[in-house]
């Protein structure tokens, strides 16, 4: 899981540019990947927490038993 980035030439970028939502920075001072588009009503800290929570619960959890 990663945070979506609005890349030039994409519909998301065009939407963000036309609505003043594009930012230049794609990481914070701690090195967290940040979106280059703002999401009204969603705080950047919430995005970082959601990604870290996902990695903690899914990627770094014990593997499933695969039916054994």
Q: What is the DSSP letter of 13?
A: H
From residue 3, alpha-carbon distances to 33, 47, 62, 65, 66 in Å are 7, 8, 24, 30, 30
Tens digits of pLDDT across the chain (68 residues): 567 788 889 998 999 999 999 877 777 788 777 778 888 888 878 877 887 888 888 776 666 655 55
The answer to whether 35 touches 22, Cβ cutoff 8 Å, is no
């Amino acid at each position: 899981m990663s945070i979506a980035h609005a890349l030039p030439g994409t519909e998301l970028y065009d939407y963000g540019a036309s609505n003043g939502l594009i930012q230049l920075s794609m990481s914070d001072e701690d090195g967290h990947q940040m979106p280059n588009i703002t999401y009204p009503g969603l705080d950047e800290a919430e995005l970082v927490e959601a990604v870290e929570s996902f990695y903690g619960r899914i990627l770094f959890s014990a593997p499933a038993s695969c039916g054994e």
